[in-house]
Amino acid sequence: MRVLSVLAAGLGLAAAVSALPASAQAIAFPSPNFRGGNTDWQTTLATQQDLAVVYSLQAPGAKALLVGALAQQGAPQGQYKLTGTFGKGTPLTVAIAPVALGKVCKDNNGKTGGPYGAYTYAITVTPQGAKPSSKTAPWPTFLYGCGVFTSE
- Residue-level pLDDT at 144: 93
- The answer to whether residues 36 and 42 touch, using CB atoms and an 8 Å cutoff, is yes
Nearest-angstrom CA–CA distance, 17 and 33: 28
Q: Where exactly are the structural domains of the chain?
A: 22-150
- Does pTM surpass 0.75? no
Helices (H) and strands (E) in the chain, counts: 1, 10
CB atoms within 10 A of CB 105: 24
Nearest-angstrom CA–CA distance, 142 and 77: 23
- Residue-level pLDDT at 10: 38
| Residues linked to residue 96 through DSSP beta bridges, in sequence order | 80, 123
pLDDT tens figures, 73-117:
888 888 888 898 877 778 889 999 999 999 999 999 999 999 999
- Residue-level pLDDT at 6: 33
